[in-house]
A = this chain, B = another copy of it.
Amino acid sequence: MSEQPQTVRMRTALQAYLDALNRNDADAVLALYNDNPTVEDPVGSPPLVGRVAVEAFYRKVAAMPLRLELAAPIRASHGNAAAMAFDVLVGVPGQGQRISVIDVMTFDADGRIASMKAYWGPEDAKPL
Contacts and interface: CB of A to CB of B under 8 A. Distances in A.
Contact of A77 (B44, B77, B79, B80): B44
Given A43-B79, A45-B78, A100 B73 contact: yes
A120 interface: yes
A contact patch SS: mixed
Interface string A112-125: 00000001111110
A49 interface: no
A81 B123 contact: no
Contacts of A101: 75
B43 A77 contact: yes
A34 interface: no
Nearest to A8: B123
A96 B82 CA distance: 24
